[in-house]
């Protein structure tokens, strides 16, 4: 089972429809609760996670508070039933489904759609 | 009536009460209106005499100081150190000091305290005879004791026992000679006295009661050799401390014709005024309106408040009509408390007694004819003092027998809590703070934590014996106000870290998921946990790994998902996403070959190098994918992980020590290396640091460490709880003159006890301050084995030591484990383009302009294409 990601249309700066799914890695490359980073063709980076139930998530790897590409190395958890990752640098938490920062709702990171392909 | 242009107030004596008086004057604004002159006999400003003995456990005279460095300047008070008053001329209203300084006063306050009474036995002025009252006394005793083997304390009261403990601590064979038939005759009754005696004797201190010293025998050099006792016997001794009570220092008052009591003490009224309305006397030198001289600090503080109020013109403030002389002390590690009518002097009263001579516990309550509690004596276990004392004068809510039974032996747990007390019950005796005041600090002044309440009310900032009751009251009050006081670690667990440690240890759990699902909060079970509890539990499992049967390697399976990124990559994350590498350099000792290897590795991988504050070398700027290759070279050359990334033992610093240094008395380098190799890899609640110095000059800064070792000519002194960082703390002396084996055994116990009971991210310093009973309790547990835990603590450490393996060597040996060290899962060979460097001072530094890079908030660009939106963008982009 391969995981593939795609940036939702509404988050694309040009709002262009794009149905291209980028295969990233085999599901088995991920440990639940631990992220990995993947390189995108445009040089961007995406952080992928699996939660305990095996659901995949993908958000931008760039920590908006420090500018470092490190979100994939944060620890995940759930708060009020919502999955999040805490940045390993200054520990701000980001909702894995919406990209919103739980500690400062004015800040968010782009989220990617993620699905399994064969 | 003013004798001078600006009214002048002169204070004679700057002791504990004098200082409190000055604070009260300042609070009332008197220092702004009047010139205040203080004549202080001692060479240093007021210090905490009550805690004097803690000098011998490592507190410096500066630590004992009672004044903020700028207090005098801030209030414009003139303090003359080392210049005692020598005469008072009441007619001219002047005071003359030894230096010749003469000051005219409008108001004069005497706070001259007491002097130790030295019985008039022949030879009492020989060299080696001391009293125990001031810092200077202690310094002199310490110096003299260096050349002594035995010491004798004359007097088995409160201070005598403290002095005996101090001599014992200085390594002297110690004896107490008490004229009364029992120890602490003033405070405790016969039963209490014998319980106390047994415990003191168990500490290897000889006790002679019912005898007095008859003569001090000096040698040809005038130094003490022996003491002859009233029963005709003779004991050899090199040093004598007289602690046979104190007498008020009222000579100045006598000389100027003020009335003094028959047994001393300057006569004052309820406003602490002498018969001369311009002269006041407060503290131990005063004979209060109730005809008593109080030898405790709390009544002195009350007198200070009364006198300051009167001088400020506030005649409504409380008068001083007498005080409670209840005391709770920890003497030589034994709790001793007495309160109210401890000796049962009230007609018709009855005693209820519980005694267990095996454990040295003796408790007596004095009950009045109508069942009211009149007083009591507690020896060996004074836990209930904080609750019993405020109940004095009332009929307790429980039968007296139940009040004296030890917890678990029929005493209904929790039935008698501070909750049962009336609002006017005094909880903090030192500062006279009632339960009502504490409650309103929470309900009206919105304090939400114990430290806030302490600051607001001063409760708990004296002897500390009320802190437990205080904590309960604060929590009760918060709960009553609807604030949930949750001790849980995080949103996932209702337990503290120490409780989770016990659960993991006793249930032998090796899985976080199992712990969360079985012991987490209902709403968190089955969930993903959080970034707080995951590393905490990972650390607990790692600390206990060999004992609970977990894999000692912290990155396998589930464990790997629990670790912060530093532990996950066995390196330290830096601000640009690169990592640093710190090989272990035990004790800071390194061969030229190894230095060359480090240099070559750094050069070949282009790393920034820096000597750390921990006597080793940090290599910065490695990408994740470079770490295995860097470490392959280092491991090959004989290096291993330095755990700079872990909450684990960091470094054991050393000084060069006896081998080279002309002052060294032990081989500090060897000991530092031994300790570092023994405790390397030990995961703990926070990082652990240590150092070993070869002599008291302390070049390794051991007293700034979690456990610091300083060489003595007889072995090693062990200090614990030191800290640098934001809140520095000097380590406290735990034990002295240890052999190598004793030192290591004690550190084993200390570290394991800390790991077992500390909170998450609580350094040893904060832990020592927080843990109930503080250093004394920790010493009881790890030195005297009061909880019977030492065997287990030692075997936990033995298991750790034998299971230790170098994490980096293990990682390199296993391709699966190495697989994680890639920047990108879909491009394992590709370096991370975001990790870049620019040159600086012949090395590199992170290319930081990149960090505030172009993609900062995409969202804002899309939302706000207008001119005003551009400003928003600038504002956001500066974040
Ligand atoms: C490298 C070094 C500074 C240097 O260039 O010399 C350093 C660097 C860091 N220190 Fe430190 N400390 C270093 C010696 C110290 C010292 C001095 C000492 O150990 O003798 C202290 C004061 C002593 C003490 O710990 O009590 C010190 C007190 C701190 C503190 C405050 C701890 C506290 O209890 O208040 C922190 C923050 C923390 O740990 O939570 C800290 C945290 C850090 C961290 C780990 C911050 C972080 O999370 O990124 C830094 C990581 C460095 C890295 O990536 O490698 N560092 N740090 C030193 C490494 C020593 C070593 O060889 O292991
Ligand atoms: C080892 C020890 C342990 C103690 N433990 C406790 C305890 O647990 N609980 C408790 O309540 N109390 C305890 N006490 C007693 C407590 O310290 C005193 O009650 C308290 O210090 C009294 O304060 P004071 O200001 O009246 O006297 P002091 O603190 O003695 O201060 C008087 C000062 O006046 C100075 N002075 C005297 N004459 C002159 C002069 N002519 N000119 C200028 N200065 C002068 C003295 O040098 C001294 O510095 C203990 C005392 C000692 C020594
Ligand atoms: S602590 Fe003592 S032995 Fe060590 S280097 Fe300093 S002076 Fe020498
Ligand atoms: S009773 Fe001493 S600090 Fe409260």
CATH topology of domain B564-641+816-879: Sulfite Reductase Hemoprotein; domain 2 (3.90.480)
Q: What is the pLDDT, as a whole number, of residue B828?
A: 87
Q: Is the pLDDT of residue B12 over 80?
A: yes
Q: Which residues contact B523 (CB under 8 A, 6 or more apart)?
A: none
Predicted confidence band of residue B330 (pLDDT cuts 50, 70, 90) = low
A9 in contact with B, Cβ within 8 Å: no
CA distance A80 to chain B (A): 8
Q: Which one has a higher pLDDT value, B400 or B260?
A: B260
Q: Is the pLDDT of residue B286 over 60?
A: yes
Give the separation between CA B159 and CA B766, rounded to whole angstroms: 30
| Per-residue pLDDT tens digits for B843-866 | 999 987 544 444 433 322 223 333
**Residue ranges per structural domain of chain B:** 8-115+248-311, 129-244, 497-563, 564-641+816-879, 647-805
Instruction: Give B-chain residues touching A51 at CB under 8 angstroms.
Output: 528
Instruction: Give A-chain residues touching B760 at CB under 8 angstroms.
Output: none
User: Which sign, positive or negative, has the C-alpha torsion A14, A15, A18, A23?
Assistant: positive
Q: What is the pLDDT, as a whole number, of residue B338?
A: 85
CATH 3.50.50.60 fits B129-244, yes or no: yes
Q: Is the pLDDT of residue B298 over 80?
A: yes
**CA nearest ligand 1 atom 31, residue:** B725
Nearest atom (ligand 1) to Cα of B766: 34
A102 in contact with B, Cβ within 8 Å: no
Cβ atoms < 10 Å from Cβ of B17: 29
The answer to whether the beta carbons of residues B303 and B284 sit under 8 Å apart is: no
Comparing CB atoms, the residue among A23, A62, A74 nearest residue B855 is: A62
Pair of tokens at residue B472: 């309960």
Give the separation between CA B426 and CA B443, rounded to whole angstroms: 18
- In what helix (H) or strand (E) does residue A116 lie, and over which residues does it extend? strand A111-117
Give the separation between CA B219 and CA B151, rounded to whole angstroms: 16
The answer to whether the beta carbons of residues B137 and B131 sit under 8 Å apart is: yes
Stretch B684-695: mean pLDDT, rounded?
97
Residue where the block lists tokens 């509890």:
B533
Q: What is the pLDDT, as a whole number, of residue B874?
A: 28
- Candidates B324, B465, B469, B473: which one to mutate for ligand 4, based on the most atoms within 8 Å of Cβ? B465
Cα B320 from chain centroid (whole Å): 33
- C-alpha neighbours within 13 Å on the C-beta side of residue B684: 29
Q: Is the pLDDT of residue B868 over 60?
A: no
* Closest by CA position to B441, among listed B500, B433, B541: B433
Predicted confidence band of residue B416 (pLDDT cuts 50, 70, 90) = low
Instruction: Tell me the DSSP string of B484-551.
Output: -----SSSS-SS-HHHHHHHHHHHT---HHHHHHHHS-GGGTTS---TTHHHHHHHHHHHHHHHHT--
Ligand 1 center from residue B636 Cα (angstroms): 27
Q: Percent of chain B at pLDDT above 90?
A: 62
Instruction: Give B-chain residues touching A69 at CB under 8 angstroms.
Output: 577, 832, 834-835
Q: What's the CA dihedral at A11, A12, A18, A21 to 10 degrees? A: -70
Q: Is the pLDDT of residue B617 over 60?
A: yes
Q: Is the pLDDT of residue B300 over 90?
A: yes
Reported pTM? 0.56
Q: Is the pLDDT of residue B328 over 80?
A: no
Q: Is B400 in the pocket of ligand 3 (CB under 6 A)?
A: no
- Mean pLDDT lowest among B378-387, B404-413, B541-550: B404-413
The tally of domains found in chain A comes to 1
Phi, psi of B865 (to 5 degrees): -80, -5
Pair of tokens at residue B95: 């005071």
Q: Is B692 in the pocket of ligand 3 (CB under 6 A)?
A: no
The answer to whether the beta carbons of residues B675 and B718 sit under 8 Å apart is: no
Determine the structural domain holding residue A70 and report its residue range. Answer: 2-117
By C-alpha distance, the chain B residue nearest A92 is: B531
Q: What is the pLDDT, as a whole number, of residue B331?
A: 67
User: Which sign, positive or negative, has the C-alpha torsion B521, B526, B528, B534?
Assistant: positive
- In what helix (H) or strand (E) does residue B869 lie, and over which residues does it extend? helix B867-877
Q: Which residues contact B819 (CB under 8 A, 6 or more apart)?
A: none
Predicted confidence band of residue B653 (pLDDT cuts 50, 70, 90) = very high
Q: Is the pLDDT of residue B289 over 50?
A: yes
What value does the mean pLDDT of chain B take? 88
Q: What is the pLDDT, as a whole number, of residue B415?
A: 46
CATH, residue A22: 2.102.10.10
Q: Go through chain A and tell me how many residues it has.
A: 118
CB pair distance less than 8 Å for B575 and A89: yes
First vs last Cα of chain A: how many Å apart? 6
- Mean pLDDT lowest among B269-283, B590-604, B694-708, B830-844: B830-844
The angle, 0 to 180 degrees and rounded to 10, between the axes of the packed helices B497-507 and B512-519 is 110
CATH topology of domain B8-115+248-311: FAD/NAD(P)-binding domain (3.50.50)
Q: Which one has a higher pLDDT value, B480 or B780?
A: B780
Q: Which one has a higher pLDDT value, B150 or B165?
A: B150
pLDDT per residue of chain A (118 residues) written in tens, 0 to 9: 889 998 776 666 565 655 678 899 999 999 999 999 999 888 889 999 999 999 999 999 999 988 999 999 999 999 888 999 999 998 899 999 999 999 888 899 999 999 988 7
Stretch B806-834: mean pLDDT, rounded?
91
Ligand 1 center from residue B807 Cα (angstroms): 21
Helix ranges (DSSP H) in B126-272 = 135-145, 158-169, 190-202, 251-255
Give the separation between CA A3 and CA A23, rounded to whole angstroms: 6
Q: What is the pLDDT, as a whole number, of residue B407?
A: 53
Is residue B68 classed exposed, middle or buried when 0-12, 13-18 and 19+ CB atoms within 10 A define those classes? exposed
Is B237 strand, coil or helix?
coil
Q: Is the pLDDT of residue B351 over 90?
A: no
User: Among all ligands shown, which has an atom nearest to the Cα of B763?
Assistant: 1
**CA nearest ligand 3 atom 2, residue:** B695
Examine domains B8-115+248-311 and B129-244 and report if their fold is the same. yes
| Per-residue pLDDT tens digits for B304-317 | 999 999 999 988 88
* Closest by CA position to B438, among listed B475, B487, B386, B392: B475
Cβ atoms < 10 Å from Cβ of B88: 23
Phi, psi of B714 (to 5 degrees): -105, 0
Which residue of A75, A80, A97 to mutate against B (max B Cβ within 10 Å)?
A75
Stretch B347-369: mean pLDDT, rounded?
84
The answer to whether the beta carbons of residues B716 and B710 sit under 8 Å apart is: yes
- Candidates B615, B664, B665: which one to mutate for ligand 3, based on the most atoms within 8 Å of Cβ? B664
Q: What is the pLDDT, as a whole number, of residue B432?
A: 80
CATH architecture designation of domain B647-805: 2-Layer Sandwich (3.30)
Nearest atom (ligand 3) to Cα of B658: 3
Q: What is the pLDDT, as a whole number, of residue B863?
A: 32
């Amino acid at each position: 089972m391969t995981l593939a990601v795609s940036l939702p249309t509404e988050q694309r700066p040009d709002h262009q429809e794009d149905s291209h799914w980028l295969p990233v890695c085999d599901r088995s490359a991920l440990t639940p609760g631990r992220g990995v980073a993947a390189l995108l063709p445009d040089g961007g980076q995406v952080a992928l996670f699996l939660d305990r139930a095996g659901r995949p998530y993908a958000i931008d790897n760039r920590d908006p508070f420090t500018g470092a590409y490190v979100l994939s190395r944060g620890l995940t958890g759930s708060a009020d039933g919502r999955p999040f990752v805490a940045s390993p640098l200054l520990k701000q938490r980001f909702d894995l489904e919406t990209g919103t920062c739980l500690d400062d709702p004015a800040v968010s990171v782009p989220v990617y759609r993620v699905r399994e392909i064969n | 009536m003013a004798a001078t242009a600006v009214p002048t107030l002169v204070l004679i004596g700057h002791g504990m009460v004098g200082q409190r008086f000055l604070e009260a004057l300042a609070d009332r604004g008197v220092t702004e209106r009047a010139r205040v002159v203080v004549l202080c006999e001692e060479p240093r400003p007021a210090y905490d005499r009550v805690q004097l003995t803690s000098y011998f456990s490592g507190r410096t005279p500066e630590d004992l100081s009672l004044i903020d460095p700028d207090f005098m300047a801030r209030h414009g008070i003139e303090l003359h150190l080392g210049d005692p008053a020598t005469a008072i001329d009441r007619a001219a209203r002047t005071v003359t000091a030894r230096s010749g300084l003469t000051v005219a006063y409008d108001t004069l306050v005497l706070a001259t305290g007491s002097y130790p009474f030295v019985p008039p036995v022949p030879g009492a002025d020989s060299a080696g005879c001391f009293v125990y009252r001031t810092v200077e006394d202690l310094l002199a005793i310490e110096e003299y004791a260096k050349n002594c083997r035995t010491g004798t304390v004359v007097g088995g009261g409160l201070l005598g026992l403290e002095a005996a403990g101090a001599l014992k601590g200085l390594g002297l064979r110690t004896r107490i000679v008490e004229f009364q038939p029992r120890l602490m005759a003033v405070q405790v009754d016969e039963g209490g006295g014998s319980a106390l005696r047994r415990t003191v004797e168990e500490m290897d201190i000889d006790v002679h009661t019912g005898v007095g010293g008859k003569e001090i025998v000096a040698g040809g050099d005038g130094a003490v050799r022996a003491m002859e006792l009233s029963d005709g016997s003779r004991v050899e001794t090199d040093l004598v401390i007289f602690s046979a009570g104190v007498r008020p220092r009222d000579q100045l008052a006598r000389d100027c014709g003020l009335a003094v009591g028959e047994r001393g003490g300057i006569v004052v009224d309820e406003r602490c005024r002498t018969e001369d309305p311009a002269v006041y006397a407060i503290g131990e030198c005063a004979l209060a309106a109730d005809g008593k001289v109080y030898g405790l600090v709390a009544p002195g503080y009350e007198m200070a408040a009364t006198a300051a109020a009167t001088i400020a013109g506030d005649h409504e403030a409380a008068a001083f009509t007498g005080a409670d002389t209840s005391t709770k002390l920890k003497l030589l590690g034994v709790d001793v408390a007495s309160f109210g009518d401890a000796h049962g002097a009230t007609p018709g009263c009855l005693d209820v007694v519980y005694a267990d001579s095996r454990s040295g516990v003796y408790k007596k309550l004095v009950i009045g004819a109508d069942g009211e509690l009149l007083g009591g004596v507690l020896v060996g276990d004074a836990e209930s003092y904080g609750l019993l004392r405020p109940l004095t004068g009332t009929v307790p809510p429980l039968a007296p027998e139940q009040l004296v039974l030890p917890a678990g032996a029929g005493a209904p747990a929790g039935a008698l809590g501070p909750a049962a007390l009336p609002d006017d019950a005094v909880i903090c005796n030192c500062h006279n703070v009632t339960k009502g005041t504490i409650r309103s600090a929470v309900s009206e002044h919105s304090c939400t934590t114990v430290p806030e309440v302490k600051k607001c009310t001063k409760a708990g900032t004296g002897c500390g014996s009320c802190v437990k009751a205080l904590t309960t009251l604060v929590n009760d009050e918060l709960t009553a106000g609807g604030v949930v006081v949750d001790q849980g670690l995080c949103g996932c667990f209702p337990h503290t870290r120490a409780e989770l440690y016990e659960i993991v240890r006793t249930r032998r759990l090796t899985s976080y998921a199992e712990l969360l699902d079985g012991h987490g909060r209902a709403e968190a079970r089955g969930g993903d946990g959080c970034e707080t509890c995951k590393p905490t539990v990972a650390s607990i499992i790692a600390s206990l790994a060999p004992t609970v049967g977990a894999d000692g390697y912290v990155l396998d399976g589930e464990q790997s998902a629990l670790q912060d990124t530093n532990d996950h990559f066995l390196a330290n994350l830096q601000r640009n996403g690169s990592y640093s590498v710190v090989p272990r350099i035990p004790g800071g000792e390194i061969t030229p070959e190894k230095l060359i290897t480090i240099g070559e590795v750094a050069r070949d991988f282009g790393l920034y190098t820096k000597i750390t504050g921990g006597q080793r070398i940090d290599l910065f700027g490695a990408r994740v994918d470079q770490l295995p290759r860097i470490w392959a070279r280092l491991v090959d050359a004989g290096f291993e992980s330095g755990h700079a990334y872990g909450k684990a033992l960091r470094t054991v610093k050393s000084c060069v020590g006896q081998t080279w240094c002309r002052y060294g008395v032990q081989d500090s380098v060897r000991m530092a290396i031994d300790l570092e190799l023994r405790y390397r890899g030990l995961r703990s609640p926070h990082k652990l640091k240590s150092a070993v110095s070869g002599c008291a000059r302390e070049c390794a800064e051991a007293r700034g460490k979690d456990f610091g070792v300083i060489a003595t000519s007889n072995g090693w002194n062990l200090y614990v709880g030191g800290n640098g960082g934001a809140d520095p703390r000097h380590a406290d002396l735990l034990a002295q003159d240890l052999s190598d084996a004793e030192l290591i055994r004690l550190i084993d116990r200390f570290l394991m006890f800390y790991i077992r009971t500390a909170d998450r991210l609580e350094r040893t310093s904060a832990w020592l301050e927080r843990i109930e009973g503080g250093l004394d309790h920790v010493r009881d547990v790890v030195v005297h084995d009061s909880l019977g835990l030492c065997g287990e603590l030692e075997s936990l450490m033995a298991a750790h030591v034998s299971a230790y393996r170098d994490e980096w060597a293990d990682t390199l040996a296993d391709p699966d484990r190495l697989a994680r060290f890639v920047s990108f899962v879909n491009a394992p060979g590709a370096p991370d383009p975001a990790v870049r460097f620019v040159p600086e001072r012949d090395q590199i530094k992170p290319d930081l302009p990149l960090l505030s890079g172009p993609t900062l908030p995409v969202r804002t660009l899309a939302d706000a294409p207008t001119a005003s939106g551009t400003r928003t963008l600038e504002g956001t982009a500066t974040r």
